[in-house]
Amino acid sequence: MSLKIDATRGKPNAEQVALCNEMLNTPLENYIAEDGTDVRNYGGNDGLPEMKRIFAELLDVNANEVIVGGNSSLNIMFDFIANMIYCGHWNPSRAKFICPAPGYDRHFSVCEYFGIKMLTVPMTPTGPDMNAVEELARDPEVVGIWCVPVFSNPQGYVYSDETVRRLAAMPAAHPHFKIMWDNAYPVHNFIGERPALLNILQECRKHDYEDRPVMFTSFSKISVAGAGIVCLAAAGETLATIRKRISMQTIGPDKINQLRHARFFKNADSVIAHMKKHAEILRPKFECVFESFEKNFAGTGATFSKPNGGYFVSVETPPGCAKRVRELCKNAGVLITKAGATFPYSNDPTDTNLRFAPTFLSMDELKQALEVFCQAIKTAAT
């Protein structure tokens, strides 16, 4: 088979991005935001009130704890870490970060860019191994942890209430320990209802740690991946420090795109209703993956996660097989994410984890990709 199929990244497909053509192409009847701001001019660097309100509803925080950004949540996470270093809170030559793995490769490359040492802890179906996390947080050089609390990348796990409570309550030796709460998929369920998630900020407040969490979310996989709207939410000194940096750094985010989003999406309920359309498109693809894996993995020793939302299926091959599976797929023209990419320093100690991204493919491509992938699993396992 001479295929050319790319299943490496969590990209929405053409049908999904077309769901927002109306938002992009409806003329704006006027350019004035709720607070009287002409969105075409300068002014305002933390977002329009109507867009803050939607984010506040989605993240269950107060609107004044939200700072609206541009179109890339990675960018505001990167900037947040840069700022922690510049304001002297973190010393990059000594700082260490807790990285639940398998995890999101782009989180890890941000740490690498800044020279922050990464400490791997195992992911479990209820979140990171909290015994390991609590132990590491006692190290005064450990400055933070990466978390994707809902439909974690790549396994699609959702943090349990106990995990959130322990993250909020645990002592941390570093005075500026931060939880990077990358809530990338809060409404991205394709099976069943939106999963419940305990509010990390409220939990932290109970223990006088309101400075600890920084929450991020994004419309990239709600509206359009190339031009969504992102935000962060935080409190206390954490929020104040970010505001200070932003006032030096930028003349403010694109307010026209914010107004388009706010007028199209209106509120969290209507966002959730819109996400049902995404679910209709994605569910058959994931079900096709699950069915194929169930049938073909039998007897190979390979296992897979079966998420109710998010963008990936995570596969565990027998030990020492992940690189080989990826190689076999590549030779047949099916690209999957590099083996190891889901671990800090691309170091998967048992060479078992693979991330499969079905969303961007057409049904036909997906079926071909699955045929190749499952055959590769069987061959490598043998």
User: Cα(211)–Cα(178) distance, rounded to whole angstroms?
Assistant: 8
- What SS3 state is found at 117? strand
Q: How many residues bind a second copy (CB under 8 A)?
A: 49
Shortest distance (Å) from residue 45 CB to a second copy:
9
Shortest distance (Å) from residue 293 CB to a second copy:
25
Amino acid residing at 291:
E
For a second copy, the closer of residues 131 and 247 by Cβ is 247
For a second copy, the closer of residues 114 and 290 by Cβ is 114
By CB under 8 A, tell whether 36 contacts a second copy.
Answer: no
Shortest distance (Å) from residue 295 CB to a second copy:
31
DSSP 116: P
Number of Cα atoms under 13 Å in the Cβ half of residue 96: 16
User: Cα(224)–Cα(20) distance, rounded to whole angstroms?
Assistant: 7
Counting other chains too, the contacts that 87-93 makes at CB distance below 8 Å and 24 or more residues apart are 87/241, 87/245, 89/143, 89/175, 89/176, 90/116, 90/143, 90/176, 92/116
By CB under 8 A, tell whether 257 contacts a second copy.
Answer: yes
User: Cα(54)–Cα(241) distance, rounded to whole angstroms?
Assistant: 23
By CB under 8 A, tell whether 20 contacts a second copy.
Answer: yes
For a second copy, the closer of residues 7 and 110 by Cβ is 110
By CB under 8 A, tell whether 301 contacts a second copy.
Answer: no
User: Which one of the spans 156-164, 182-190, 253-261, 324-332 is the region binding a second copy (CB under 8 A)?
Assistant: 253-261
By CB under 8 A, tell whether 196 contacts a second copy.
Answer: no
Closest CA to 83 of 195, 175, 178, 197: 178
By CB under 8 A, tell whether 320 contacts a second copy.
Answer: no
Residues of span 66-105 touching a second copy by CB under 8 A: 70-72, 74-75, 78, 82, 86
By CB under 8 A, tell whether 313 contacts a second copy.
Answer: no
User: Which one of the spans 145-153, 246-254, 269-277, 286-294 is the region binding a second copy (CB under 8 A)?
Assistant: 246-254
- What SS3 state is found at 96? strand
DSSP code per residue over 138-207: TSTTEEEEEE--SS-TTT-----HHHHHHHHHS--SSTT-EEEEE---TT-BSSSSPPP---HHHHHHHT
Q: Which positions touch a second copy (CB under 8 A)?
A: 9, 11-12, 14, 17-18, 20-21, 24-25, 27-28, 31, 38-43, 70-72, 74-75, 78, 82, 86, 106, 109-110, 112-114, 220, 224-227, 245, 248-257
